[in-house]
A and B are shown apart, each in its own frame.
Chain A
Amino acid sequence: MRIEYSAFILPHIGDQFSQCADRFSCGETNQCFAIADGVGNSLFPGDWAQLLCDDFIEHPTLFSDNTHLCREDELISKWEEQRNKRISNLSDEEIFIYEMGLDKADFAASTFVGLSFDKKRWSCQAIGDSYLFLINQDYNISLKVASMDGHDFDNFPEYFASKKGQNNGTAVYCSGDYKDVAYFALMTDALSDWFIEATPEKREELLNIHSHSEYEAFIDQERQMMSLKDDDTAMLVLKVEDDGSENLTFYSNPDKLDNIDSLIQNEKKSKDKEEISLEEKDYNGFPPPEDKTEETNSPKHSKCERIVTAQSIDKEIQKIKREWSSYNAIQLKNCIKKLIKYIDKLLLHGTSN
């Protein structure tokens, strides 16, 4: 039997990949796969979700026992190490923000689905509202596995936690043979919710996506139609082909496998190259956040220094000429403040061209 696997991931609308808390791991060698969804209101949930997935593909048969992770101490220790690295060298303001977040949660939480294979059977363990689906040739769901199956999808899933005594809920376990299984699909909650309600034709479309850009276009379309909730989405699809062999062979195409670390790195590179101008961008027409980076002399902020160009000043003046008559008092006040900042910069630095 041959199994082709593919996996894709996208963050919330408007968020960056670095802010995405969904994760997956593919363990072709050990013939196991995992997906996890970090709880957004917990602390560094993406790190925890990745640790769970990576641990499962290393130790699929000794991962969890209903309510506890088998290597809980080790995993918690790894997460704490990553957390400590993230919070080293924080500014006063960042320390304040971090401590405020601790009032909300001082540990990470994540749902989880792990799927492992041998020649005769598959096995699954799951906690929370991430799902394993078994799909037949007609793109109907023949089985769905989740510890919260039957519950409404909400913001309060069951999870494994990165702090002792804080797990919520009980994992479920399931296994079966490969009869009549055309696809295995692991999905996080928003996509699972969509998949359960979708028509067979729509499921077919999703399961046969061949690239990240195709996945992005599909998700965008469904979000715009309001049939898919705005949330991080991740899916791991395993297509089963009976080649007459008793052995299990896994294969994948690099184009069909997203890599979250690469996606984050690429995003960071694009952001570093971007010239930051004083345009309002997403705050279009409404007062943008105050630009505090200009007021500090710290070298840490030197990369964020804004560049004033003759073009950006001209653009701003043209915009004001067009729109000033519709401004309210607050917008006029902010407009004047921005012009003063421009003038100060000009007097201090001149223009870059």
Chain B
Amino acid sequence: MMVRIGDYSMANYSLMWGSKAPGHLIYLIDQSGSMSGPNEVKAAEAVHAAIMDTFRGCVQGTEVRNRVYITIIGYGNEQGVSIIREGWMTDFVEDLKNCKANNTTIIAPKSYGGTPMAEAFMLAGRCLSSWITARQNICANDPRAGIPAPIVINITDGYPDDRNSATTEAKKIMNMSTPDGNVLLFNIHMDDSEETAEIKFPNDKAQLNGVEAGEFLFDISSEMSPEFIKVAKQQKLEGIFPGAKGFVVNAKGDTLVRFVRFGSAVSQK
């Protein structure tokens, strides 16, 4: 599923979200049975916090600028894989207002079945293909328009039902290109138990100490550029070196929310 456009020599993730070059942010949320309990709440809260940050970034006075399109995909729910919510920033105003009034999150915490991560990546891929094609059409008619590299953030607490398929589909996403760079895929694996150690942004597989989830995520996570590292530091995610992979395994405490906020901010002005 290769979608290519233009001259890739300019690819350097430098295009910030704007009215003529809106971003596309996709959240993949594991809603499998194993997420039951604190994890399902933490995942919903992390995505909500990130969307609120993004929303604030789009506010100018009393207006909201549509600088980004957001898609939230749940997997492991009753439908298997489904788009829970999607829209431009202005489409979220009413819901965010109600959430603030009622102290709820934009998506409800949920846990249900297996972990069809491959199918989630496939759906994300179809969304990205539609998006990039639509933006290509606009760019063909408007030299001022642009396509910032879309961002996918995957939040899970387990392993995919089919690791090989998930790896294949994730790599297809990471090979989807725009002039600003390939689609970025950041992954976070949650595990609050005391027996496991948190591993953040490794730049070598040797640092994974044989952790199975880590080996899987290493292969399907985008690399951290110096600019991404700067953004990560703003979320107090430290100790990241150029060439590191954008993922965390066995994330503890508030690492999840800081990671999701970081991934959502890399292309914001």
Contact = CB atoms under 8 A, between A and B. Distances in A.
Contact of B64 (A41, A97, A226, A328): A97
Contact of A86 (B21, B61, B64, B90): B61
Nearest to A92: B97
Nearest to B136: A285
Contacts of B100: 96
Contacts of A328: 126, 130
Interface string A75-117: 0000000000011001011101110110110000000000000
Nearest to A223: B144
B269 to A, nearest CB: 6
Contacts of A159: none
A98 to B, nearest CB: 5
Nearest to A94: B62
Interface stretch (B81-89, B159-167, B195-203, B236-244): B81-89
B55 A100 contact: yes
A10 to B, nearest CB: 11
Interface size class of A (residues with CB under 8 A): 35 or more
A96 B97 CA distance: 7
B168 interface: no
A223 B100 CA distance: 40
Nearest to A224: B143
Question: Which of A12, A98, A220: most chain B CB closer than 10 A?
Answer: A12
Interface string B20-55: 110000000000000000000000000000001001
A38 to B, nearest CB: 11
B213 interface: no
B69 A19 contact: no
Contacts of A217: none
Interface string A1-32: 00000000000111100010000000000000
Given A93-B94, A93-B97, A96-B97, A286 B62 contact: no
Contacts of A290: 87, 90-91
A322 to B, nearest CB: 12
A14 B61 contact: no
Contacts of B145: 14
A58 to B, nearest CB: 26
A161 interface: no
Contact of A104 (B20, B21, B56, B96): B56
B18 interface: yes
B122 to A, nearest CB: 12
B60 interface: yes
B144 A13 contact: yes
A220 B91 contact: no
Interface string A213-232: 00000001001101000100
A287 B87 contact: yes
B19 interface: yes
A13 B130 CA distance: 24
B61 A286 contact: no
Given A44-B61, A90-B62, A97 B83 contact: no
Contacts of A285: 130, 133-134, 137-138
Contacts of A230: 15-16, 18, 20-21, 146
Contact of A19 (B60, B86, B94, B96): B60
Question: Which of B20, B59, B127: most chain A CB closer than 10 A?
Answer: B59
Contacts of B2: none
Question: Which of B10, B56, B145: most chain A CB closer than 10 A?
Answer: B56
Interface string B66-90: 1001000000000000010011101
A100 B59 contact: yes
Nearest to B71: A330
Q: Closest 10 CB pairs between A and B?
A: A14-B20, A14-B19, A101-B59, A285-B134, A286-B134, A96-B97, A289-B88, A13-B20, A13-B144, A104-B56
5 contacts: A14-B20, A96-B97, A97-B64, A230-B21, A290-B87
Interface of A: 12-15, 19, 40-41, 43-44, 86-87, 90, 92-94, 96-98, 100-101, 103-104, 155, 220, 223-224, 226, 230, 282-290, 292, 328, 330-331
Given A100-B55, A101-B62, 13 more contacts: A13-B19, A15-B19, A90-B62, A97-B64, A104-B59, A230-B18, A284-B137, A285-B134, A285-B138, A287-B86, A287-B87, A289-B66, A328-B130
